[in-house]
Structure 1
């Protein structure tokens, strides 16, 4: 499944805010090795290099399209680099001080089983911070699944959209972190995102959640699916006087390994 970096950053302010709400809870003073798992186009990873100029900051992502956008950031910061990597086969090294993963683990099947191994591999005092979307029961996703499971589309889209096992609740991540011997904090935030323009929720999901559907269908059928899905979205998220309000719930958890 290919990613479109330009589409992904279309709503940059809203996509970026959870990253800073997450990393603001990391209280590492002078880390030497920082890893950003699922770094996307790398613009947010670059803020970690600015925050910790004494650290070697590495962004990892499995999308060559996304990483192509990271080159300018790497060229501007001597302590910043990016690598093509599969999160599912990654482990922190004994030198890793901070791990950040923002809006990426929902794409990694079984990540809740991987998390204890990641935490176990961290040295005492190291930090692990994660954020995942918690909106899989919102109309933006339920309408997509209902349409994909309808008689007109089920034959071509069966099994394309994951749901029940995609992410955990905040309490589940908290338990995993505490069981791994960490001091931990977990919370949820629902952002009331005010989106401009026509069909803005469709434009939003084109950059993320709709990608598996678009990848599974030929172009003409993808347009037909989008047209029907868009009509349902417009009804679920009507435009108001100031734009379209798109509530977006996100789940956060931050751990520090006890010494």
Structure 2
């Protein structure tokens, strides 16, 4: 779930924070796996941006006979994955330059490509797709598969308010402007993802078929504070890494972000809030 090219120079990611909502984060992983036909049986799998190994564990359950490698740029995530799944190989890697091992026939990526900048995201995905074996006409061997999903929530209040809060006046502002070097906080967070057509047109020349769709998940949370905790594991991370860990600016920033969330996420009849979370799915068959 992390790369070495996130939207900001991150110190590292927190596996424990990320896994606070493990069940909800695993839902799109299971949905992506379900899309692959029941008799599909890859021999060598690379889990790109494996994070703490939650997606890797689900891959191992679905494909028990496959050789699986998990890669991620975060040392903390890799350490957690190795401790949780000692029987699986894990390595630190940069997605922009990573070369999957020869014979890899499934590249699986759960919530990682959104961290690449727009000018490198699709070229990186297309390059990785081209490393997979092609299906030979008249042959018995099937081609490789690239399957990935990523958040498509750039314009959702939960993530829009991070940027708006960061750009507002407060003790956090000077830290963000200093790090961005431009006077703008826009580049501290991740870029919006591309359209369906852009993915199709970029990948289809290199494969037999491309399937793509969006699913909006509705997560029932206890309140705006839980949205903050969710975002601290992902979208807030680049911003929090720019602030002193134990400083006034960090606490003030989180408090202001939560205050704004309270206006956008009114309580349901039983006091919960509904976090809408759209995700983009793409499966390319080589």
Give the structure-2-normalised TM-score. Answer: 0.83
For residues 257 and 41 of structure 2, the distance between their equivalents in structure 1, rounded to whole angstroms, comes to 48
For structure 1, the residue ranges without an aligned partner over 5 or more in a row are none
Range with greater deviation from structure 2 (170-179 or 125-134): 170-179
Provide the aligned C-alpha RMSD in A: 1.9
For residues 226 and 186 of structure 2, the distance between their equivalents in structure 1, rounded to whole angstroms, comes to 21
CA deviation after TM superposition for structure 1 residue 24, in Å: 1.6
Q: What residue in structure 1 maps to residue 34 of structure 2? A: 24
- Structure 1 contact 161–212 (Cα < 8 Å) conserved: no
Q: What residue in structure 1 maps to residue 200 of structure 2? A: 174
- Structure 1 contact 128–255 (Cα < 8 Å) conserved: yes
Of 118, 123, 127, the residue aligned with 1:113 is 123
For residues 217 and 82 of structure 2, the distance between their equivalents in structure 1, rounded to whole angstroms, comes to 31
Q: What residue in structure 2 maps to residue 226 of structure 1? A: 254
Q: What residue in structure 1 maps to residue 168 of structure 2? A: 150
For residues 53 and 95 of structure 1, the distance between their equivalents in structure 2, rounded to whole angstroms, comes to 17
Q: Which runs of 4+ in 1 moved over 3 A?
A: 151-155, 158-166
Q: Name the count of aligned residue pairs.
A: 254
- Structure 2 contact 224–265 (Cα < 8 Å) conserved: no
Structure 1 residues 209 and 161, CA gap change in structure 2 (3 angstroms): farther
Give the structure-1-normalised TM-score. Answer: 0.91
Deviation string for 1:103-150 (max 9, x for gaps)?
111112312121221122211110001111000001112111112122
CA deviation after TM superposition for structure 1 residue 151, in Å: 4.0
Q: What residue in structure 1 maps to residue 66 of structure 2? A: 55
CA deviation after TM superposition for structure 1 residue 169, in Å: 2.6
